[in-house]
């Protein structure tokens, strides 16, 4: 029955396996859900999707394959002919007329009235205040006005007053080629993990307890320290100037990194790394830290991440005195080379889409200094970046 669904997922590059498909069929055969489309959606998504990056692809395929099977509630209702739903007219009401239109009395009342009218109405209707159609002031239909209602057959909302949208909603795909939010960034950062047990024994060692109990002949509890991610991370954020347009995305990356990496240190710089960095942008002129001190303080086993658009004058990287803010005794490129010499695992994450990189000379210079280890700030880019740091 669901073979077509399975093949459509494969065509959309959702990596579903035959074993997962059979698991879905077994669950359906065992009646683990009610016979509702919404329940089947969640069951099939849990059975067939292993990676959060494929959730949106799955939603698109599901909508395509099972289009028209949405349930409005218990029991069958009348079918809505497609020709009724075409938007032909739009009635413009004055503010005074809009004020005279009252809601039907909440969600339950609206759905009860909608089902009643679907059973009674036999033809397409245009305008008016009762039947389902286009224009008019009925709570049901399209391209009209009612302060509370159900939108049917309309591409998008206009007044923001629909209680439930009956139409197919199209959203921008959340794929591994686009910039994503904090939750998805966390998923990518989790590739960079190395667990160890250190500290006080606070967790039950189940295997050790079973073994010791069998050996002693009585209950012998064994405890072990908590597993912790021992990865040490050092992040340098480019701040100000052209990076202002990427603040939100960098904030999401920073928030995700603070959650995923317990041993995280961060510093700010502007455009290129020089002899000084800082922790507080409000005090960057008065509380600047020596870059040399930072490089001597944190050992070479730290994973170093630069975050910046690498967009600046090439002189800021290659010449002394090239900085736009102060007189730098040494070129910024020298400092980047020093970081790469001290830390074996060092990458650069760039919020600018990769297709634009070749048009910026300074970006190409920094990419070369970093040994081509520059990655775009997308989910796929972060995935490759964490793989590089894990080597």
Per-residue pLDDT band at 64 (split at 50, 70, 90): confident
Contact 163, 113 (CB under 8 A): no
Contact by Cβ (8 Å): 310, 362? yes
DSSP state of 340: H
Q: Please, what is the average pLDDT of the chain?
A: 75
For the residues 340-354, what does the mean pLDDT come to? 93
- Rounded distance between C-alpha atoms, residue 135 and residue 141, angstroms: 8
Q: Max Cα separation, the chain?
A: 87
Q: Tens digits of per-residue pLDDT, 21-40?
A: 888 888 888 888 887 788 88
The rounded distance, in Å, linking the Cα atoms of 233 and 256 is 13
Other C-beta atoms within 10 Å of 336: how many?
22
In this prediction, residue 225 carries a pLDDT of 77
pLDDT at 350 over 70: yes
**Residue 163: pLDDT band by 50, 70, 90 thresholds?**
very low
pLDDT of residue 109: 56
With beta carbons less than 8 A apart as the criterion, state whether 53 and 175 touch.
yes
Residues 266-311: tens digit of each pLDDT = 999 999 999 999 998 877 778 889 999 999 999 998 999 999 999 9
Range with the largest mean pLDDT of 169-183, 227-241, 327-341? 327-341
8 A C-beta contact, residue 117 and residue 126 = no
Task: Say what the pTM is.
Answer: 0.52
Choose between 333 and 99: higher pLDDT. Answer: 333
Percent of the chain with pLDDT over 70: 66
């Amino acid at each position: 029955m669901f073979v077509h669904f399975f093949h459509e997922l494969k065509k959309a590059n959702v990596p579903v396996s035959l074993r997962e498909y059979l698991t879905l069929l077994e669950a359906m055969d065992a009646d683990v859900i009610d016979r509702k489309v919404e329940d089947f959606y969640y069951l099939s998504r849990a059975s067939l999707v292993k990676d959060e990056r494929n959730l949106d692809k799955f939603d698109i395929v599901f909508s395509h394959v099972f289009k028209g099977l949405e349930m409005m509630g218990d029991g069958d209702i009348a079918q809505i002919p497609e020709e009724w739903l075409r938007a032909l007219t739009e009635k413009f009401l004055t503010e005074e007329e809009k004020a005279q239109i009252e809601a039907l009395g909440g969600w339950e009342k609206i759905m009860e009235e909608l089902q009643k009218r679907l059973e009674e109405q036999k033809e397409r209707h245009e305008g008016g205040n009762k039947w389902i159609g286009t224009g008019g002031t009925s709570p049901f239909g399209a391209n009209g006005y009612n302060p509370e209602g159900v939108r049917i057959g309309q591409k998008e909302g206009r007044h923001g007053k629909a209680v439930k949208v009956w139409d197919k909603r199209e959203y921008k795909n959340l794929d591994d080629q686009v910039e994503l939010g904090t939750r998805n960034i966390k998923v990518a950062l989790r590739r960079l993990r190395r667990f160890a047990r250190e500290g006080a024994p606070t967790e039950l060692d189940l295997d050790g307890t079973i073994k010791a109990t069998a050996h002693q002949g009585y209950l012998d509890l064994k405890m072990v320290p908590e597993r912790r991610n021992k990865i040490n991370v050092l992040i340098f954020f480019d701040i100000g100037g052209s990076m202002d347009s990427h603040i939100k995305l960098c904030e999401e990356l920073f928030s995700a990194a603070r959650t995923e990496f317990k041993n995280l240190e961060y510093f700010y710089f502007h455009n290129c790394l020089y002899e000084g960095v800082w922790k507080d942008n409000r005090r960057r002129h008065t509380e600047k830290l020596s870059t040399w001190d930072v490089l001597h303080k944190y050992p070479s086993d730290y994973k170093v991440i630069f975050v910046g658009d690498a967009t600046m004058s090439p002189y800021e990287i290659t010449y002394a005195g090239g900085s736009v803010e102060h007189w730098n005794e040494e070129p910024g490129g020298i400092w980047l080379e020093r970081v790469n010499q001290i830390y074996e695992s060092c990458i650069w994450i760039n919020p600018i889409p990769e297709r634009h990189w070749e048009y910026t000379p300074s970006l190409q210079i920094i990419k070369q200094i970093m040994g081509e280890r520059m990655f775009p700030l997308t989910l796929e880019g972060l995935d490759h970046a964490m793989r590089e740091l894990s080597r």
